[in-house]
Chains A and B, each alone.
Chain A
């Protein structure tokens, strides 16, 4: 078993190192193949571990080595394979395998093909450390590793020039990469403080030991730790107000977007909250948990509203991720940790599928992402159309698809907790989700073929890529059916993750479900009526709407990026400039320069002594002797 753990963890690492060997050379197809195989191996190991855990129910603890032994601080490099981590491992490696195979096709023409695979595998490796670690420090290492890899990958096409915000809201890949990295760094400080608080008060970093001591800690410490850790989660999972990087991260290659959104990055925040569930389910931190649920609900609605008007295919999908992460946090905040985790897994499958489908469209349209320039693509891209439709149905939450079960359970949870406001917003958001996801489908694949007038010649993606995507499509359809088995599986962890609906909710469940379906269906119908029809009713971009207040507000992302630029970036720039010219140049540099100048000057003037004339030297020697005598005399008098 232990070997399987190591294979699952280190196979991506080996893949990354192997690809790095060829990092600077031209495209070599076997680099992609071997990278994908190794990730696939990691997936197989994870799946075997999951199956073993499912049948035996025995949690595996692996202690690889002692890591830090300094004074009272003893941290071992250890891993825990329990129900939570094995879920994450399986999901992460499965999605990553598909993405790797996909990337072989997608990055076909890129000259940095090998470098890309090196980063991609390193990304997966970091995420595996993050989810498998049995202590907070290992989690943090993975957390930072994910941050670095995301920076490398979002900025993969770093040579692209900056554009004004009006033309491209993300400005440029390198700008987006820096934004993502810096925003995460802000949040990581919170996370680090949270870890410090816990270590300070419990004397350990291991999950088990920390959580065992929670009941003996004071309220303030618990609340402080909960808030600080959640700030870390907010950054990674792009919750308001640290959310802008997620949509801008669309500048990276599409496989990266799929990976970030489905497997290796944004889910880390949700994972942290789920992992720390004993902390968040303490009655003392109820306020924090409720705040998490409220913030999640708000973000779900907020992101969905921006997706309603977005024209960029990938950004719509990014907003939907943001929105679904909101759902997950809502569930986790309300105490339904296993539902959050289940939604995370289901979401990973259909979101990866959606992104990879979007990548196909982008590939076909020669990097054009404006939905208004597409339309009717289903005739040329049948496979992609089917995949995207499946994923959108799952996202919209229609019955029997993955999203239906998990999302419905979250909405039910909100009802069960008597937080009817949250419930209402979540139901409304479900309708908006259905609308924007089908708006995107209809605009790109149905309706009039607007691309023809613009001279595009779209073509379907390679066959092997479409085949590679099929596992995701199947999972997007069937995951929901295994909800009860999954529930039984994860309930073995202990009481903290168990969550049951009350009888009252149980009775109403059918009606609640029907309501959500009805709302979702009306969203889809609305989208159909507006965007899918041809001829007279065909969709045309409308000047009047485009100038409306709400449209402007939404398309500019509530002016949050502009706000950040004007009230944070620019003042910060001004302060930096001031410190540079006033403090650094005038004080710090000047001090150092003057010390150097003093020695230059004194040396220069003392050079005159070196005449080369022995007589002069003797004179100086006499002067020196006299000075020494005088000093000796004075000190003798003073003593």
Chain B
């Protein structure tokens, strides 16, 4: 029987994969993918917990997150295109121009 904890473990594993991606990747596009992975990991947790408690609020939240993530990606990709046109690269090490 697949219970709540299984869902949560899967969610945690996916979140960690996303986190590692955020920390290790240098390409901005990959960072976006990693954040999307993390967001969806959270969505899984929301849906699972919502089902477990029989409370639809959690699933509602998941929908909100999907909607916001979609709009965020739309804006973010726009910025990325502009950045790429300007610098010819999306590598973060090349983009570091504000050294303290």
Residues on A close to B: CB < 8 A? 607, 609-615, 618-619, 622
Contacts and interface: CB of A to CB of B under 8 A. Distances in A.
A587 B65 CA distance: 59
A13 B89 CA distance: 81
B100 A612 contact: yes
Given A618-B23, A619-B23, A622-B23, A611 B92 contact: no
B95 interface: yes
Contacts of B22: 618, 622
A614 B95 contact: yes
A612 B100 CA distance: 7
B45 to A, nearest CB: 16
B99 interface: yes
B23 A612 contact: no
A609 B100 contact: yes
A614 B96 contact: yes
B96 A607 contact: no
Contacts of B31: 618
Given A613-B92, A613-B93, A615-B26, A622 B19 contact: yes
Contacts of B96: 611-614
A622 B100 CA distance: 20
B26 A612 contact: no
B80 to A, nearest CB: 13
A-B residue pairs, 10 tightest by C-beta: A610-B100, A612-B98, A613-B96, A612-B99, A612-B96, A615-B92, A614-B92, A619-B23, A618-B22, A607-B100
B97 interface: yes
27 contacts: A607-B100, A610-B98, A611-B96, A611-B99, A611-B100, A612-B96, A612-B97, A612-B98, A612-B99, A612-B100, A613-B93, A613-B95, A613-B96, A614-B92, A614-B95, A614-B96, A615-B23, A615-B25, A615-B26, A615-B93, A618-B22, A618-B23, A618-B31, A619-B23, A622-B19, A622-B22, A622-B23
Nearest to A614: B92
Contacts of A612: 96-100
Interface in B1-37: 19, 22-23, 25-26, 31
Contacts of B95: 613-614
Contacts of B99: 610-612
A392 B99 CA distance: 88
Contacts of B93: 613, 615
Interface of B: 19, 22-23, 25-26, 31, 92-93, 95-100
B95 to A, nearest CB: 7
A603 to B, nearest CB: 11
Contacts of A609: 100
B75 to A, nearest CB: 17
Contacts of B92: 613-615
A612 B95 CA distance: 8
B35 to A, nearest CB: 10
A613 B97 CA distance: 8
Contacts of A619: 23
Nearest to A622: B23
Contacts of A618: 22-23, 31
Contacts of B25: 615
In the complex, which of the residues A613, A615, A622 has the most CB atoms of chain B within 10 Å of its own CB atom? A615
A537 B96 CA distance: 105
Nearest to A609: B100
A618 B22 CA distance: 7
A610 B98 CA distance: 8
A593 to B, nearest CB: 26
In the complex, which of the residues B25, B26, B95, B96 has the most CB atoms of chain A within 10 Å of its own CB atom? B96
Contacts of A610: 98-100
A619 B25 CA distance: 11
A609 B98 CA distance: 12
Given A607-B100, A615-B92, 9 more contacts: A609-B100, A611-B99, A613-B96, A614-B95, A614-B96, A615-B23, A615-B26, A615-B93, A622-B22
Contacts of B23: 615, 618-619, 622
Nearest to B95: A614
A609 to B, nearest CB: 7
A394 to B, nearest CB: 86
